[in-house]
Every structure is written in structure tokens, then in C-alpha cells.
């Protein structure tokens, strides 16, 4: 089994239900071919770098999954015939993976997410340290000549020692 990422751009005029149906259809294809979904990310509606089929925006989403060659071919075939998809790219990640490895990765990601949410809910009564900014001279103020001379003198002394 190999690991793949598919990034697709759907038409911007799709509503949330239409995007959900697109994602659900790809999920069904992956499960039908005994693939494993590691992650699905909806990146939302973004501006395209260039116009594609007269659209300047699109809904981006990413599938991170593991499967075999026929699975990837089937996903690409579906994207090619679906007129709601403007563009897609499939990337093969390095190395072969096992079902256990992906399950462990998914579990680790879930625990990390839980920890982040718990950390965000920490009580606000904890003491916060405020850092006082160091004294700064105004940006338009020039350094004094005596300071410049001292720095230059130190640098020349250091160079002589080396």
C-alpha cells in the first residue's frame, strides 16, 4: 500500500452540500478499494493564481490516503469526468505504509488535537508575566560619534589579537 495526497479545486458556485457530496463520493471510492483515509482537509474558497475555465476562485480540498494503483486511477477518472472539478493533482508520498502505521498516525493526530483544545480551555487566572520593552532611541536619532569610535576601536583590537 502506498500513500497519496490529492488536492482538488471545485467550482466556486458550489454550496456546502455540493462540496460534501463530492468528498463523500471520493470517500466511498477509497473504501470500496480497501483504502485508508488519513486526513481530509477543506481549505475553503480561495482565489486562483490564474483563471481556470473562466473562474477566478475555487473551493480547495485535500485527501491524504493510502491505497493501491487502481484506487488512484479510479479517483482520477472520477475527477476527470466530473464537471464540478476545475483542477486536481495527485502526489505520491515516499515509501510504503501499513494499515497499523496509518492508524497510529491518526490516533496521534487526534490526541494532539485533544491536547490543543484542553490547553486552549486552561483557566485564565494563571499569572501572566509582562515584559517591559527595552529603552530604545528614536529611529531618526543618529548614534553618537564617541559610541561609533569605541565600537570601531574594539573591532580593530579584536582583529589584531586574531
Domains with residue ranges and CATH for the chain: 2-118 (3.30.70.60)
pLDDT one-digit tens code per residue, 65-111: 988 888 999 999 999 999 999 999 999 988 767 777 777 777 777 78
Higher pLDDT, 120 or 21: 21
Q: Which of 23-37, 121-135, 147-161 has the lowest mean pLDDT?
A: 121-135
How many whole angstroms separate alpha carbon 94 and alpha carbon 148?
55
Q: Are 103 and 66 in contact (CB under 8 A)?
A: no
How many whole angstroms separate alpha carbon 6 and alpha carbon 87?
11
How many whole angstroms separate alpha carbon 115 and alpha carbon 108?
11
Q: What is the pLDDT of residue 142?
A: 56
- HSE toward the beta carbon, residue 84, CA cutoff 13 A: 17
How many whole angstroms separate alpha carbon 96 and alpha carbon 76?
20
Q: What is the pLDDT of residue 125?
A: 44
pTM listed for this prediction: 0.62
Mean pLDDT of the chain: 80
How many whole angstroms separate alpha carbon 74 and alpha carbon 4?
13
Higher pLDDT, 27 or 112: 27
Helices 16-32 and 69-81 sit at what angle, rounded to 10 degrees? 150
Amino acid at each position: 500500500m502506498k500513500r497519496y495526497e490529492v488536492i482538488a479545486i471545485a467550482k466556486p458556485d458550489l454550496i456546502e452540500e455540493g462540496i460534501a457530496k463530492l468528498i463523500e463520493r471520493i470517500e466511498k471510492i477509497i473504501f470500496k478499494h480497501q483504502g485508508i483515509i488519513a486526513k481530509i482537509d477543506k481549505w475553503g474558497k480561495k482565489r486562483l493564481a490564474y483563471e481556470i475555465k473562466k473562474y477566478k476562485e475555487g473551493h480547495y480540498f485535500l485527501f491524504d490516503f493510502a491505497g493501491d494503483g487502481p484506487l488512484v486511477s479510479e479517483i482520477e477518472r472520477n475527477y476527470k469526468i466530473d464537471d464540478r472539478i476545475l483542477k486536481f493533482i495527485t502526489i505520491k508520498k515516499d515509501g510504503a505504509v501499513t494499515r497499523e502505521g496509518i492508524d497510529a498516525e491518526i490516533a496521534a493526530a487526534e490526541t494532539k488535537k485533544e491536547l490543543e483544545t484542553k490547553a486552549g480551555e486552561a483557566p485564565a487566572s494563571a499569572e501572566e508575566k509582562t515584559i517591559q520593552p527595552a529603552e530604545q532611541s528614536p529611529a531618526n536619532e543618529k548614534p553618537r560619534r564617541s559610541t561609533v569610535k569605541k565600537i570601531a576601536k574594539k573591532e580593530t583590537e579584536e582583529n589584531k589579537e586574531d
